[in-house]
Structure 1
């Protein structure tokens, strides 16, 4: 393989920490080898991030021969056989000069790295150079979905089922409403129906918060989340979320705060556990920590301002190796969906009759299956590529450019592998891409159009749109929604420039709304980002410093002062209970002469009890290193317990504050205010957890001499 001049230009842009916009088929895989090799020479590592494991493994295998021949080591960041990797296994992968991995694997590895309880459990190097393939998909489209590691399950509410039943008795407008920003809420009449349904006199007296929570979750499950659009059901038993931008399954991702279970109840599936969030990070927070960040994609220029503001990344548009001769045909607009579907099918039938390969793209799984059924009825053989057939994606794409082949797909067909033309297809006019509605983003539209006409090959693209499409219904002007009723005749194509312009404005507005949503998500994540950095920095210092630079006595005394001031009236019973719950199970209570009205004297006494408990553990330590290890593990235990509660609180808070818009409050201000309060409470909780971990822990010596620590 010998790189073209334009590939070298792309490599220079990437090495200069920019995003190289290179159209589909221009050879981004080969372009990436040059900057990856140069940054790997520093000895600090270089990572290429792709959207899925298939692409990462394919590119690492093909390009790995080059790196190895040049004397560098290369690896993939996951097990192809889905085996569980140990910290030692992962350390070897991250020590490679060049690593190919996915954005989700990198994100979860980062979270696991910062949950390590010892230096031996750490495996990542600092992120030196990261090149993000399909940069707009990873850095923008997926930026609003946080990666979450879940831990212990919450207690499942027994009101989920009956709240779901209630939804079938409610009517839109009178009992609940929704807006264009996908918010749903109960009306006064709706709350009255809830109260009547559950025979409750006062729904808002503070005793029915769980019922209010489950009914709101059930309402969102029925009105906000749609089967085969927002999620699919796998093996008739599992709800899997779909990526809104490309229709792929979001593996391992679940909605938090009970929403996932509400959807499972709606679909009458067995309920999974509602897990607490243990650690979370967004892609924006993750990639902002990279020392040298760059990207490459086929569509980035349209979002350059956002790349600059969010990541300080400029976009360099690289010209194609050969001029594009693809013909982008005018968009065909119809008043009704039925008109549009029939017109699109007729066009597919015509192109199939010519022997040209066709890629027919829909916005979601449900519509792709509808077109598949219609094509089957008119006798056109075809393949279907959507979230339900993702495992066969590479094989389907490989055949999509062969003469006479018809492929029905969601927008996931716009990423990853090239569609190469089969013998004689160029002479027939190349691949024909037909989109059956406007995509929610101009970048996705450009990606799909770019499937045809790669490397100077012939091809065409055309969009079929109706005034009943979701994007038009959601973002269209009021007059546009009404004008469709004026068209009574079937097959009545609309050629009005004004209507065409209004429809494209819907797409522009959709793009703007998505950008605002990403900005909102990023702004909301700032509180978590700030807190996460403080906590992770503290953990790192505990793990790596030989001497624990942490004033245990001062922090314990702070906790004792908090306890004293929290008691309205301090008593002997208060003190006994506090000691047995937090300091010692065996302490002989001797404070008859203790003046309970003197706060400092009580704090001094509690410190003496704590000292005695800590001294009793020293018989287990043969060396200073063992003693330091005990203190380190106990403090890590305390900070982790407190941080887990904080992450879960902030995750719940993110959902709850959105409801405060109804009270004319700024949800962003409310979120940061509550997040700050939660952080102060976390610091207080940490000191209490630390006292318990140090004093109430139990050290057990095993037969082989190993010492295990058991915490309450």
Structure 2
């Protein structure tokens, strides 16, 4: 009612934007006769003029009408596709940095070309992000003729491509790729040790296709580049054996909503008895094993095979719960993936240590202008606005929507529900009407498949196990009599055309004949024409039967996923229908459904096989979905709140790395770091309040820069005398540094100093990420003490970061003053041992003949006296790390 009132009063921001867009679309249409009359060369010459005007400072908004008219004409000539007015409106929303919501089949891929070309005029590069590699390559090839006609280069990035080719792709005017590739390239750029290893050139303008899937669904999992840690994998096997002997209700309670488990007193005692380890859950020395047991129990009771993951070729592959796709290369963190591997009796991999990480939220917020498009965004408009500052513009369909969406049907049990679905499919199939059955898991899709096989109904199954055939299956789901069972139809990227897709059919025929690689154009055109006639005939038959029927076997946690399934029907004004079949045993109703739904069902005294349907029940179910959506929003908001703390530190470190890679005076930079460390040391040991410690200050300076500083500090008994002494010490340090550079030679010194600074910063950052992981893991316990965990995390992480940067500066100074270069002859010299004992050779030696050799402190093994050092105890060498991460690595 409120929305209707806003629309009538002209207060609806969406309607105001559409009204403005329609006026601009009229201006674009006014140029169509003029542009249609121009030759190809005349059209191409316009691009150079637009670029000149943009470079001279004219705003892209002023160029929009002319550029959009140009792109539409070029599209008509190269692809045979003319942008509809609603597509022009969608392109305007993208250019303004908003999210365009357009229904399935409205041509979002073509819409993107308008904003891409306009924003590519600046020469800074435009990124177009898709949900998988197939769509990235397809869209780049499909829309490529438009860009190339206009003199714009277009490339696609994908996994495992050559470094040189990847860099060229980013230098193109338009770059297509997946969110993972863009994000990981950013992280890899910030691990590069040389300027020529960088591939990205900034973040100017980005369009995210299926923006809700990428910026919301996948945003719950951060991007992580990791390396193997030294953890003992046998611990996971032990934990799995214990987990198999525990029982729910007696030893632990599970919380399916939060995906967590809580051990009872009996459960803790049982674990301790089985392992003969009193204090297993209370002794900090046993915390690792206790944590593994908790993860093992989670793996057994909260993560199901063929629902949350699949076992493929001896590996655990995660299934994306929103799209049903396999997430190759992804692993659950915190030891959970290893717990699942132990559960399924496959090889257990080592737990990884984070080397670089960023959330998708913070990656995409780096773009100066961000836009997106999808068929379902308005339900998440609050999150898009709060997290990304993005408004959602709902663009009307080109033709009126005539699909019929029927109320949900609810049964008592899932068995009754699935039999009812099978009967509905059988009746629909006998009538020749195509039907698409949507499920929320691989397990349920295969369950439906078995029921259909029993009824001898031919059908296609699309889930993560048959991912390779995705496009072919989806493209033909609208043929006469077609039955398709699909897991989570989110972001499939291929339209279901009633009557079938003749292009896919022609290529499939050639593929069966074995000559799809050496495509014969004449043969292909012949097959294409034949299938066009067949598909046109089938389309008329399907339209007579009522179009594509959608049957949902369960409501998803997110209304968007349900809407995406529905949106497969009713494309471009086609008829169609949709209905969801539910049961009281469905997870959504069981965990989040109101008791009122179950109460109504019980009062009606329903018999077996009976079902009820009512709009009130449908609204109650949507209310349950809103609860789940809010819960997930809170999770993502919390993830972002914690990552924002890390993001400030990440930006500081990565910004410093870029300055180091670009710095032509790295030697001066290193000298400034060394003199700055002098101030750090003196301020620490000569506090304004408290007793000065000149002996300790001299010892620290001696450890960093060598002996000879005692005379400077001999007469200093308070901080008042420090400024003059500080300058004297800095001059001494500078003179020693200059001599070191002269001994090394300017070229070698430049290379060594750059390597030392980067190596030290990267090593410290890696250790800092590990410390932050451990801090984050335990910070929630601060709530018990009536403290805000987030505020505590901010305070603690700030202190950790400051300590890290202090160690970085000191390590750089120490290495810079100790490093030296020797030849292979010196390396093989019989006097090498005596040389090692001198101060310069206290570090591993760099050699000109061994490029890229590392610099680092030698590992000092502690003298083992007294009680044995525990793996989680502080390392006796004084590094500040746990023993297992320091000297105990190889113990």
User: Do they superpose with TM above 0.5?
Assistant: yes
In structure 2, the CA distance between the partners of 1:593 and 1:261, relative to structure 1 (3 Å rule), is same
Native 8 Å contact 1:697 1:710 kept in 2: no
Corresponding position of 2:842: none
Corresponding position of 1:685: 807
1:367-414 deviation line (CA, Å, top 9, x unaligned): 111111221122111111111111111111122111112111111455
1:507 to 2:625 alignment: yes
Following the alignment from structure 2 to structure 1, what is the Cα–Cα distance between the partners of residues 285 and 770? 23
**Match of residue 408, structure 2, among 311, 327, 331:** 331
In structure 2, the CA distance between the partners of 1:692 and 1:426, relative to structure 1 (3 Å rule), is farther
Corresponding position of 2:266: 189
1:63 to 2:143 alignment: yes
Corresponding position of 1:89: 165
Cα deviation for residue 171 of structure 1 reads 2.0
1:494-543 deviation line (CA, Å, top 9, x unaligned): 24665444323211211211222221111121111111111111112222
**Match of residue 357, structure 2, among 273, 276, 280:** 280
| Unmatched segments (≥5 aa) in structure 1 | none
1:206 to 2:284 alignment: yes
1:309 to 2:386 alignment: yes
Relative to structure 2, which stretch is displaced further, 555-564 or 649-658? 555-564
1:622-655 deviation line (CA, Å, top 9, x unaligned): 43x5433322221111111111112233334444
**Match of residue 571, structure 2, among 424, 429, 454:** 454
User: In the comparison of the two structures, how many residue pairs are matched?
Assistant: 701
Corresponding position of 2:609: 491
Relative to structure 2, which stretch is displaced further, 179-188 or 68-77? 179-188
In structure 2, the CA distance between the partners of 1:617 and 1:401, relative to structure 1 (3 Å rule), is farther
Corresponding position of 1:710: 854
Aligned Cα root-mean-square deviation (Å): 3.3
Cα deviation for residue 37 of structure 1 reads 0.3
1:471 to 2:588 alignment: yes
Cα deviation for residue 683 of structure 1 reads 2.0
1:666-700 deviation line (CA, Å, top 9, x unaligned): 44334334323332332233234324542454545
1:365 to 2:365 alignment: no
SS in 1 for 2:327: coil
Native 8 Å contact 2:407 2:615 kept in 1: no
1:440 to 2:557 alignment: yes
Corresponding position of 2:426: 349
1:638 to 2:760 alignment: yes
In structure 2, the CA distance between the partners of 1:352 and 1:118, relative to structure 1 (3 Å rule), is same
Following the alignment from structure 1 to structure 2, what is the Cα–Cα distance between the partners of residues 610 and 214? 50
**Which one has a bigger Cα radius of gyration?**
2
Native 8 Å contact 2:685 2:697 kept in 1: no
In structure 2, the CA distance between the partners of 1:71 and 1:510, relative to structure 1 (3 Å rule), is same
Cα deviation for residue 621 of structure 1 reads 4.0
In structure 2, the CA distance between the partners of 1:527 and 1:228, relative to structure 1 (3 Å rule), is same
Relative to structure 2, which stretch is displaced further, 679-688 or 693-702? 693-702
SS in 2 for 1:506: helix
Q: Which has the higher helix share?
A: 2
Cα deviation for residue 319 of structure 1 reads 0.8
Corresponding position of 1:118: 194
1:535 to 2:653 alignment: yes
Cα deviation for residue 479 of structure 1 reads 5.0
Following the alignment from structure 1 to structure 2, what is the Cα–Cα distance between the partners of residues 118 and 61? 33
Relative to structure 2, which stretch is displaced further, 169-178 or 301-310? 169-178
SS in 1 for 2:410: strand
Native 8 Å contact 2:685 2:694 kept in 1: no
Corresponding position of 1:232: 310
In structure 2, the CA distance between the partners of 1:380 and 1:190, relative to structure 1 (3 Å rule), is same
Native 8 Å contact 1:177 1:187 kept in 2: yes
Corresponding position of 1:24: 104
In structure 2, the CA distance between the partners of 1:249 and 1:707, relative to structure 1 (3 Å rule), is closer
Cα deviation for residue 589 of structure 1 reads 11
The alignment's TM-score, normalised by the length of structure 1, stands at 0.90
1:306-355 deviation line (CA, Å, top 9, x unaligned): 11111111111111111111111221111111111111111011111111
1:141-178 deviation line (CA, Å, top 9, x unaligned): 11121000112433225321111111122222332123
SS in 1 for 2:244: helix
**Match of residue 117, structure 2, among 7, 23, 37:** 37
Following the alignment from structure 1 to structure 2, what is the Cα–Cα distance between the partners of residues 321 and 652? 53
**Match of residue 544, structure 1, among 641, 659, 662:** 662
Native 8 Å contact 1:415 1:447 kept in 2: no
Cα deviation for residue 575 of structure 1 reads 9.8
Following the alignment from structure 1 to structure 2, what is the Cα–Cα distance between the partners of residues 58 and 572? 69
Corresponding position of 1:425: 542
Corresponding position of 2:224: 148
Native 8 Å contact 1:561 1:599 kept in 2: no
SS in 2 for 1:270: coil
Relative to structure 2, which stretch is displaced further, 596-605 or 321-330? 596-605
Matches within 5 A, 1:240-319: 240-319=317-396
Following the alignment from structure 2 to structure 1, what is the Cα–Cα distance between the partners of residues 88 and 494? 21
SS in 2 for 1:159: helix
SS in 2 for 1:689: helix
